[in-house]
């Protein structure tokens, strides 16, 4: 062998040896990835139309095939449990009512649980890969210091520790991974296409209600696209079902008649008299979560925002706004310094199209924008003063925590009263402006009182709002605002630009009878 070939051979041998040593060192020092989560493929979804007859054995076969994919989840947390909102019925503890925590964890004598007390809760999940990845609800594992998973068919008390890989509050979804795995192959849930679900379709829920592991219930899809509040000013469209869902079902699968996951059981509607099922349950459409899996597996879900608040086009103002039909999203406010503000959007603009996608209703805008990648620039077609124009908006990154922070408005003594709208106006004095944190030089009319039964209240006007413009004309005092409002014909609409919480808000207010 020549000297040159010998040198090349040993160089290659050293490179291979170095790579092998490097891999060993990396594994010892935990420098290699903790899991294969970021490289795994998104589970395939069966998009074929749902057809065929339902027989006496249909649900028996689904239960037999899919129950092994469902897991029970037990969590421990040192966070003080949140209170149930009025939507869920009553004010009992969230973990006991919804997650199915044991009774002994409930507060005694109506006393609040200490902040540092360990809280145990229970929920459900379903396996999506043999590597030990499981989907559940965000609220099942949020704040958990320990996550333990029980598998179907194993000895009672057998639990496997898991870690939270990624969470998404907007879809109330979370991806967890077993850190210790069983010595057998785990089954995988099958995904269906939630966009094909129709009202009246049969569905099955499997979960851990009140600690009763792997309970099966059957019902139908009661309704689609039920808006459900998930954050301040934001909601998620849900599948409503009458399949029995109870505390502890959270995170379990909602299956179609083929045994495919079409939803993630998330919430129940209950009243003050009982915390259990009354035939109204909600599930997140699985398509919304499946699309997020690549981001959940990286540990962070990134969403777009443009910094506007929008509302539906008032039905009675279609022509007044220059529209031929009720389509688009009416911009009620623009966040100062946000992407929309930088692009020149203003309160009162109507957004017709974003990145080539038409906006039929205000919810469309939210769904389109949150799916856009931050830092990308997209064209936004708007209608302003009955004329169309296009502006380019650079998408920002959504921060739910900062978005949810809202300052409270201040009010003061009464001033001039305006009939037909149900508001009481006062002058914006320098002292009032200083106490309310209004920018210096701002002029307008302060709304000191709002009649709860008036049109202004129904339109969202609040005490403490400052009227800056009436029908796009500035007003500098209560008297000017009163004159401008009085000039609006009965049955017509006053388009108000008001200042609230450090931002301008566009509010259409119809004028009632004098």
- Give the residue numbers marked as catalytic: 139, 172, 250
Token digits for 494? Answer: 């006053």
| Closest by CA position to 409, among listed 448, 377, 372 | 448
Residue with the two structure tokens 């170095």: 18
CA 168, CA 291: separation in Å to the nearest integer? 12
User: Which residues, listed in sequence order, are joined to residue 235 by a DSSP beta bridge?
Assistant: 229
CA 88, CA 81: separation in Å to the nearest integer? 15
Asked whether 133 and 176 are in contact (CB, 8 A), the reply is yes
Token digits for 475? Answer: 């007003």
Residues counted in the chain = 514
Residues 6+ apart with CB under 8 A from 110: none
Helix (H, G, I), strand (E, B) or coil at 373: coil
Asked whether 67 and 124 are in contact (CB, 8 A), the reply is no
CA 319, CA 359: separation in Å to the nearest integer? 18
The alpha carbons of the chain give a radius of gyration, in whole angstroms, of 28
Distances (CA, A) of 56 to 61, 207, 290, 376, 398: 10, 22, 31, 53, 48
Distances (CA, A) of 99 to 71, 124, 207, 243: 14, 9, 11, 17
**What is the full DSSP assignment across 192-251?**
E-GGG--TT-EEEEEE-GGG-TTEEEEEEEEEEEEEEEEETTEEEEEEEE-S---TT-TT
Residue with the two structure tokens 């403490």: 464
Residues 6+ apart with CB under 8 A from 47: 193, 196
């Amino acid at each position: 062998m020549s000297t040159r070939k010998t040198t090349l051979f040993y160089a290659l041998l050293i490179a291979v040896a170095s790579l092998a040593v490097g891999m060993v060192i990396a594994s010892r020092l935990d420098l290699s990835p903790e899991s294969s989560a970021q490289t795994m493929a998104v589970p395939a979804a069966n998009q074929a139309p749902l057809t065929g007859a339902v027989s006496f054995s249909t649900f028996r076969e689904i239960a037999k095939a899919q129950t092994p994919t469902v897991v029970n989840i037990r969590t421990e947390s040192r966070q003080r449990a949140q209170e149930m909102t009025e939507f869920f019925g009553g004010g009992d503890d969230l973990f006991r009512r919804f997650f199915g925590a044991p009774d002994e964890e409930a507060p005694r004598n109506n006393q609040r649980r200490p902040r540092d007390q360990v809280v145990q809760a229970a929920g459900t999940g379903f396996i999506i890969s043999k590597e030990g990845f499981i989907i559940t609800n965000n609220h099942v594992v949020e704040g958990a210091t320990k996550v333990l998973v029980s598998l179907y068919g194993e000895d009672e008390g057998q639990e496997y520790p898991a870690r939270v890989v990624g969470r998404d509050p907007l879809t109330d979804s979370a991806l967890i991974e077993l850190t210790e795995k069983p010595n057998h192959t785990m089954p995988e849930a099958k995904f269906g296409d939630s966009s094909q679900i129709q009202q009246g379709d049969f569905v099955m829920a499997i979960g851990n209600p009140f600690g009763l592991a792997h309970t099966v219930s059957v019902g139908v899809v009661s309704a689609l696209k039920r808006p459900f509040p998930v954050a301040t000013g934001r909601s998620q469209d849900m599948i409503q079902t009458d399949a029995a869902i109870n505390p502890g079902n959270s995170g379990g699968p909602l299956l179609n008649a083929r045994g495919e996951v079409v939803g993630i059981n998330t919430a129940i509607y209950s009243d003050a008299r009982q915390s259990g099922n009354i035939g109204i349950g909600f599930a997140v459409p699985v398509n919304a979560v499946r699309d997020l899996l690549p981001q959940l597996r990286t540990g962070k879900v990134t969403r777009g925002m443009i910094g506007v608040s929008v509302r539906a086009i008032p039905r009675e103002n279609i022509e007044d706004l220059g529209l031929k039909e009720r389509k688009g999203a009416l911009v009620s406010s623009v966040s100062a310094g946000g992407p929309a503000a930088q692009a020149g959007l203003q309160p009162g603009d109507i957004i017709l199209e974003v990145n080539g996608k038409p906006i039929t209703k205000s919810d469309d805008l939210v769904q389109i924008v949150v799916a856009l990648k931050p830092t990308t620039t997209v064209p936004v077609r708007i209608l302003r003063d009955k004329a169309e124009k296009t502006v380019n908006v650079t998408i920002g990154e959504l921060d739910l925590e900062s978005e949810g922070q809202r300052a409270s408005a201040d009010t003061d003594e009464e001033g001039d009263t305006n009939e037909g709208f149900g508001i009481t106006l006062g002058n914006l004095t320098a002292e009032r402006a200083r106490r309310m944190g209004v920018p210096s030089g701002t002029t307008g009319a302060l709304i000191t009182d709002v009649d709860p039964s008036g049109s202004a209240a129904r339109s969202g006007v609040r005490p403490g709002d400052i009227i800056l413009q009436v029908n796009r004309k500035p007003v500098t005092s209560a008297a000017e605002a009163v004159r401008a409002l009085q000039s609006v014909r009965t049955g017509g609409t006053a388009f108000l630009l008001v200042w609230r919480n450090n931002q301008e808000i566009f509010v259409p207010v119809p004028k009632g009878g004098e």
